[in-house]
């Protein structure tokens, strides 16, 4: 009590000596007339002798610190991708993401049960790819299964993402049957969990993705993707064959929520991962970043429709011309391009992304290393070996 009074008097003097204001909380004053006399305060002779204030010149006084640990009522759901033999699939391991109960990498508030993971991106036809990506995979690009194997065997990808872009009626219009047989080949070629995407053409995807779901029955793949204009066939297929749905929304938290609500009418919530769109660095990254932060905080604060783990199509970073342009003034693009993708990924990592889909192994490896340091804090740096892979 003595100390409390001393502290109060000290802070009173400090406040009133300057231009400070005093705010009293939880104090009731009962008085008919209250006189506060400021003139007397400069004196207050008793206090200086009474308070064992360390002389300011005597050195440093440890005044300590209490970290701002808060509690969050909500928790991000855990979602399992891939199914092992024991669970009716053929994957050598499954991957669990989500489970966070604190903001991303607020390690002073708590650690997450699962670390973010990286999926290596492959396509069923060679799309316009930047040079550094081509050089990292060489001839393997011509064969999606070889490309996927390179990701897993050489670059240690946790998952593979195959996008069946050639099924687009305006590209090659590859028939569903042929696209699906490639998926079957991929299941044989690699044993990590799979993400299988369509071309983004809603009519074609509505026919394609249910067939993909069927041939992957038991494998618990991630079907990519359901959108506001085409979600029902994907949701039904995921429900029937026990897969997970990637719910894509265009940098819009309300649409993300609405789509989740629709999907949750068909699916258990732990079969949904959200993709709130990853705009490229320099081309709207900040809008994606803020939507991700808002989604994650809303989930932690208890919004059950936003408690799904989040995925990022980080490969979008390569849409930025700064990533791929041949321009000596911008420096060597075999470093610049992968770093562009990596920088985007780092922003999204700290905004709450749980699953990255990337096209260059250098960035993928950097994210894995950084996640390792943050999760365990002990791993030695390894990723510099992977810069400019293929050179």
Partner 1 sequence: MTKKKLGPMNLYPLLPRTNCGECLPKTCMGFAVQLCERGLTLAQCPPLVDSKFQVNLEKLEALLAPPVQEVAIGRGGREIRVGGQLVIHRHELRYFNKTAIFTTVDDTMAADGIANRVRETSSFSYPYIGHTLKLDGIAIRSISGDADSFQKTVETVKGLTEMPLVLWSPDPGVMAAGLEVAEDKRPLIYAADESNWEQMAELASRSGCPLAVHADGNVGTIRSLISAISDRGVKNLLIDPGCGFGEALPRSLDNMTMIRTSAISGDDSLLGHPLIGSPVTLWDQGNSLPDESIRWMESCLASMMTIRYADLMIIRDPSMWSTLPLVVLIDNLYNDPRKPVSVEPGLRIFGTPDPVTSPVLITSNFALTYYTVLSDIEKLNCYLLVADTEGLSVDSAVAGRKFNAQKVADIISSSGISEKVSHRTLIIPGLAARLKGDIEDAIKWDVMVGPRDSAGIPGYLREKWEGVDHKPGWSYR
Where would I find the H helices in 216-284?
232-241, 253-264
Shortest approach of partner 1 to residue 89 CB, angstroms?
30
Q: Give me the residue label for tokens 């905080």.
A: 297
84 vs 220: CA distance, rounded Å: 9
CB of 192 to partner 1, least distance (A): 25
Q: Which residue's CB is nearer to partner 1, number 140 or number 346?
A: 346
Q: Which is nearer to partner 1, 261 or 321 (CB)?
A: 321
Residue 57 beta carbon to partner 1: minimum distance, rounded to whole angstroms = 8
Backbone Cα Rg of the chain? 28
For residues 310 and 386, give the distance between their C-alpha atoms in angstroms, rounded to a whole number.
Answer: 26
| Least gap, CB of 163 to partner 1 (angstroms) | 12
The sign of the CA dihedral 132, 138, 143, 145 is negative
Query: Is 232 or 286 the residue whose CB approaches partner 1 more closely?
Result: 286
CB of residue 370 to partner 1, shortest distance in Å: 7
Least separation in angstroms between CB 280 and partner 1: 9
By beta-carbon proximity to partner 1, the closer residue of 131 and 268 is: 131
| Distance separating alpha carbons of residues 366 and 368, to the nearest angstrom | 5
Q: Do residues 312 and 357 touch, judged by C-beta distance below 8 A?
A: yes
| Residue 148 vs 246, nearer CB to partner 1 | 246
Instruction: Please give the Cα distance from 145 to 381 (Å, whole number).
Output: 30
Of residues 218 and 282, the one with the C-beta less far from partner 1: 282
E strands within the chain?
A: 78-81, 95-98, 117-123, 159-163, 194-197, 222-226, 244-248, 272-275, 311-312, 355-358
Give the C-alpha separation, 287 to 250, whole Å.
10
CB of 386 to partner 1, least distance (A): 9
The nearer residue to partner 1, 20 or 88, going by C-beta atoms, is 20
Q: How far is the CB of 332 from partner 1 (least distance, A)?
A: 6
Peptide bond into 225 cis (omega under 30): yes
Give the DSSP letter of residue 125.
Answer: S
Query: How do strand 355-358 and strand 159-163 relate by DSSP bridges?
Result: unpaired
Pairing of β 95-98 and β 78-81: antiparallel
| Nearest to partner 1 of 83, 255 (CB atom) | 255
Can you tell me the distance from the alpha carbon of 98 to that of 308, in angstroms, rounded to the nearest whole number? 7
Residue 98 pairs in a beta bridge with: 78
């Amino acid at each position: 009590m003595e100390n409390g009074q001393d502290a109060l008097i000290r802070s009173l003097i400090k406040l009133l000596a300057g231009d400070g204001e005093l705010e009293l909380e939880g104090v009731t004053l009962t008085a008919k007339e209250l006189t506060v006399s400021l003139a007397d305060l400069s004196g207050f002779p008793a206090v200086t002798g009474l308070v064992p204030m360390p002389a300011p010149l005597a050195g440093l006084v440890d005044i300590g610190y209490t970290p701002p640990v808060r509690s969050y009522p909500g928790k991000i759901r855990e979602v399992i991708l891939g199914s092992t033999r024991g669970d009716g699939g053929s994957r050598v391991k499954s991957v669990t993401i989500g489970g966070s109960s604190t903001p991303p990498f607020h390690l002073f508030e708590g650690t997450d049960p699962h670390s973010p993971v990286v999926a290596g991106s492959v396509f069923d036809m060679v799309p316009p790819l930047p040079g550094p990506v081509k050089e990292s995979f060489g001839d393997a690009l011509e064969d999606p299964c070889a490309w996927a194997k390179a990701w897993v065997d050489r670059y240690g990808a946790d998952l593979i993402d195959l996008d069946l872009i050639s099924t687009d009626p305006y590209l090659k219009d590859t028939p569903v049957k042929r696209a699906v047989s490639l998926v079957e080949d991929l299941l044989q070629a690699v044993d990590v969990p799979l993400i299988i995407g369509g071309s983004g053409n809603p009519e074609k995807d509505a026919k394609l993705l249910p067939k993909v779901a069927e041939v992957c029955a038991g494998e618990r793949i991630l079907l990519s993707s359901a959108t506001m204009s085409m979600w029902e066939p994907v949701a039904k297929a995921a429900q029937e064959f026990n897969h997970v749905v990637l719910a894509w929304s265009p940098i819009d938290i309300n649409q993300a929520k609405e789509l989740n609500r629709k999907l949750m009418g068909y699916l258990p919530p732990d079969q949904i991962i959200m993709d709130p769109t990853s705009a490229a660095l320099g081309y709207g990254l900040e809008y994606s970043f803020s939507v991700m932060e808002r989604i994650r905080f809303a989930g932690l604060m208890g919004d059950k429709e936003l408690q799904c783990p989040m995925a990022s199509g980080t490969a979008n970073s390569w849409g930025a011309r700064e990533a791929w342009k041949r321009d000596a003034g911008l420096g060597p693009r075999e470093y610049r391009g992968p770093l562009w993708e990596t920088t985007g990924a780092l922003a999204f990592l700290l905004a709450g992304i749980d699953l990255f889909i990337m096209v260059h192994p250098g960035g993928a490896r950097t994210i894995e290393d950084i996640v390792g340091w943050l999760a365990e804090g002990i791993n030695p740096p390894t990723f510099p070996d992977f810069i400019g892979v293929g050179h």
